[in-house]
Amino acid sequence: MHYRWLALHGISLQCQRRVSLPDGEYFHCELPDGAMGAIPVWMTDPVTCAGFSLAEPLVSVEALTNLRALLDSLRSICSAGPGIKEEEPTSHKQADSNASEDGDGSRSRREEPSGA
């Protein structure tokens, strides 16, 4: 494995087959723990991987820390569960427009005019 940012860098793997997918070529290899893994073929090419070099970071640690805090807050909101809904403002109007209040505070139904 020649891609230096992969934990498997420098390790030789036993590959079972090569597959062609819409997003590229992959080797199906047996990993050190016995599991099978799909490794992009380009990660095994020493010439391709030699073209990647170490350089100054493009993103600051502070920006990554802020992103982590944002993602954690979103995860806690999303994990609150699907049963929790934002309450809608209450209205003083009765939802059933056919109901009217009698003099004693009870509700009764008004009859619809015939032909309606």
Domain extents for the chain?
A: 14-50
Beta strand ranges found along 14-106 (DSSP E)? 14-21, 24-30, 36-40, 99-101
Q: Is the pTM of this model over 0.75?
A: no
Report the pLDDT value the prediction gives residue 76, as an integer from 0 to 100.
83
Among candidate residues 61, 56, 16, the one with its CA nearest the CA of residue 36: 16
Examine the pLDDT at 110 and tell me if it is beyond 90.
no
- For residue 84, the model assigns a pLDDT of 53
Give the pLDDT of residue 115: 52
